[in-house]
Amino acid sequence: MDDNLPPAQAATFALPGHSILAIEGPDAARFAHAQFMSDVASLADGHWQWSGWLTPKGRVIALFALLRFDAESLWLLLPDADADSLRASMQRFVFRSKVALNVLADRNVSGSFAAPSLDIGARIATSADGMVELDMGSPGSPRTLNVRDAIAATDVDAAGRWDAFDLMHGLPRLATSQVEQWTPQQLSLDRLNAYSVKKGCYPGQEIVARTHFLGQAKRGLVLFDAESAVEDGSEVRIGEQVLGTVISSAAHAAGCIALAVLPLERDAASTPRAGNVALRERPLLGGLAR
């Protein structure tokens, strides 16, 4: 498996499935800080971070990039979760908070395997025409995400490489079947700095903090590649023993890559399989933390 799977190229292509939920109003930052697992209060204006929304039992409902333009304007950039459904679920917790939740259906998300126009890291770049640009790359593997009104061209192969890049760098892409199944620790989201164990209460915080401080995380992400397709939700086995579950997969030119949740301590000498497909373990790459 090539660690530089997405080749550098300037072409911009649509990212299907991505959507945006805006949180706006005087209480926007306070509402987000109380609901999401990252430390929104400490996030500087004009910056973004990985974050997520959890069930009270600490299971991940949605993962997203959280963009803080200022204390009264935030975006959830959702790679997989349906923005309309998430808005409806989140609306129940607004109560008397002065916030409005709006799906930005007129904004289109696209990507390119090229460096951003500025060396921005976790900063949000905006242009006079309203385009928003995020650095979604890693050292040596540039990648840029854009949000704008214009619709980008469809390129199935490029969009697939984008998904594969996410998995290779430890960003789970959760299909519907994997929603509310995993804790942040089981998804190794500490690698992305996506959750806090020090901030105040938020849904699932007690489970997350207890797991962290008692050292009870026994499972985490493992990256595999395979010569043929592996389905999300497949059991990972060695012989008759079930080790864990494939949570995300993406096709690429040489076959398929997959993320699975497995025990942190296990026998790495034997070859695991998902169904009839042999899996080869590969190291997770770094560089996506923000």
Domain stops at, among 167, 184, 213 = 167
Do 139 and 69 sit in the same domain of this protein?
yes
Do 186 and 155 sit in the same domain of this protein?
no
| pLDDT one-digit tens code per residue, 97-129 | 999 999 999 999 999 999 998 768 999 999 888
Mean of pLDDT values over 93-99: 96
Torsion of Cα atoms, 242 then 233 then 281 then 244, to 10°: -30
Q: Kindly state whether residue 5 falls inside one of the protein's structural domains.
A: no
In angstroms, how far is CA 132 from the centroid of its own chain? 18
Q: Kindly state whether residue 112 falls inside one of the protein's structural domains.
A: yes
Domain stops at, among 115, 139, 167 = 167
For position 7, what pLDDT does the model report? 41
Q: Kindly state whether residue 85 falls inside one of the protein's structural domains.
A: yes
4, pLDDT greater than 60: no
Residue with structure tokens 């493992």?
A: 222
3-state secondary structure of 33: helix
Task: State phi, psi for 222 to the nearest 5 degrees.
Answer: -130, 135
Mean of pLDDT values over 186-211: 95
Among 135, 64, 71, 61, residue whose Cα is nearest residue 99: 71
Do 184 and 128 sit in the same domain of this protein?
no
Residue type, 42: S
Q: Kindly state whether residue 33 falls inside one of the protein's structural domains.
A: yes
Do 156 and 197 sit in the same domain of this protein?
no
Q: How far is CA 258 from CA 86, 170, 279, in A?
A: 26, 10, 9
90, pLDDT greater than 60: yes
Q: Kindly state whether residue 244 falls inside one of the protein's structural domains.
A: yes
Domain stops at, among 145, 167, 189 = 167
Do 157 and 206 sit in the same domain of this protein?
no
Do 17 and 147 sit in the same domain of this protein?
yes
Burial of 148: CB neighbours in 10 Å, binned 0-12, 13-18, 19+: middle
| pLDDT one-digit tens code per residue, 125-177 | 998 888 999 999 999 899 999 999 999 999 999 999 999 999 999 999 999 99
Q: Kindly state whether residue 6 falls inside one of the protein's structural domains.
A: no
CATH number at 161 reads 3.30.1360.120
Among 213, 252, 256, residue whose Cα is nearest residue 231: 256
CATH number at 199 reads 2.40.30.160
For position 231, what pLDDT does the model report? 93
Query: How is the beta sheet containing 255-263 ordered, strand by strand?
Result: 277-278, 273-274, 235-238, 241-252, 255-263, 219-226, 280-282
Do 157 and 29 sit in the same domain of this protein?
yes
For position 46, what pLDDT does the model report? 96
Structural domain span for residue 239: 176-282
Q: Return d(Cα 204, Cα 37) in angstroms, integer.
A: 8
Q: Kindly state whether residue 264 falls inside one of the protein's structural domains.
A: yes
Do 41 and 19 sit in the same domain of this protein?
yes
Do 44 and 156 sit in the same domain of this protein?
yes
Q: Kindly state whether residue 152 falls inside one of the protein's structural domains.
A: yes
For position 10, what pLDDT does the model report? 66
Do 39 and 156 sit in the same domain of this protein?
yes
Q: How confident is the model at residue 3 (pLDDT cuts 50, 70, 90)?
A: very low
Count of domains observed in the chain: 2
Do 216 and 129 sit in the same domain of this protein?
no
Among 128, 169, 146, 242, residue whose Cα is nearest residue 4: 169
Mean pLDDT of the chain: 93
6, pLDDT greater than 50: no
47, pLDDT greater than 90: yes
Do 197 and 264 sit in the same domain of this protein?
yes
